[in-house]
Amino acid sequence: MKRAGQGDTLVARRTGRTGAEGTAGGAARPARVALIGECMIELSHVAPDRLAVAYAGDAFNVAAYLARSAPPGTVDAQFVSLVGDDPYSAEMRAAWAARGVGSAHSRAVPGGKAGLYLIRTDDDGERTFHYYRSRSAARGLFGPGHPAEIDDAVADHDLVYLSGITLSVLGAAARARLLDVLDETRRRGGLVAFDGNYRPAGWPSPAAAASAMGAVLARTDIALPTLDDERAVFGDTGAADAVRRLRAAGVGEIAVKLGARGCVIADRTGEEAVPAVPGVRVVDTTAAGDAFNGGYLAARLGGAGRRAAAEAASALAARVIGHRGAFPPPDEAPPG
């Protein structure tokens, strides 16, 4: 297997960040990252007759782990969403701030409500999600009522992150508007990062998901997929298939997550396997992939090479799966 290059040009080309050095004229400013998606009320079993309440959702989880893992002063993470004006939505936004995630580009919808999901976890730590989100305020993202100034604000970021779950809550017109935002982001010199994060319940068919995701991948600089998802949507039989397809789509930086087998990182010239952290006791796999993505992007934005970023991301994900829920206690999941 040819080793992937370890250069930092993709992530550093706009901010000028190459490690400890800053941009011309002084210290580098924080990289501005917009993460687009839905945050929901999370209910998870802590006992057969007891539920814990938290606030999570894949893109928000990435934002939280990005903010948590980034070296001080290197990242300004902003979550882009729509929420309700109900008490739970207010508590949700407070939870974002507590996790270091900004909400400058999120809005409250009068009369709107937050979405809800429940998690059931089996004896092996694998989880099943049950969603109650058909009237979630976030379904209006990039729709007719979504303020146009948000499009311009998002496009002005150094990095924009989204996922297949983000796409699944949007209608066709909203997806087209989002694609325009991604095009404008790249025209201004920003980057797009994407994780397909396929959830069958969110799509009428794998083909529909493949079509929507393919349009985003044509505008993606950094792909962070999970092989199981790529197999379900695109028919990839292994990481090598996924890498070939993503390269053909024009993606320049790739990290294919393989669960307990680690990941494969790749660029346009080579690929390299990075093993998982050994001996990890799996309690709950909720947010493992999100933690990996947040940890990887934090390391890259801090100046780390691809392999070092993948190793840091794997270590963070390993800590996360040893606890129940999307977010372990802060003192038990240190940065990176």
Helix locations, 86-143, DSSP H: 87-98
Cβ atoms of residues 119 and 132 within 8 Å? no
* Annotation says 229 is catalytic: no
d(CA 234, CA 23): 40
Closest CA to 127 of 48, 69, 212, 44: 44
- Residue 36 pairs in a beta bridge with 80
CA distances to 114, 183, 199, 226, 312 from 262, in Å: 34, 32, 21, 11, 12
Cβ atoms of residues 200 and 232 within 8 Å? yes
- The active-site residue out of 76, 151, 229, 290 is 290
Cβ atoms of residues 263 and 227 within 8 Å? no
d(CA 100, CA 93): 11
Phi, psi of 194 (to 5 degrees): -145, 140
In the chain, the N- to C-terminal Cα span, in Å, equals 26
3-class state of residue 72 by DSSP: coil
Residue holding tokens 């919808």? 109
CA angle 257, 271, 263 (to 5 degrees): 15
d(CA 104, CA 198): 28
Q: Annotated catalytic sites, by residue?
A: 290
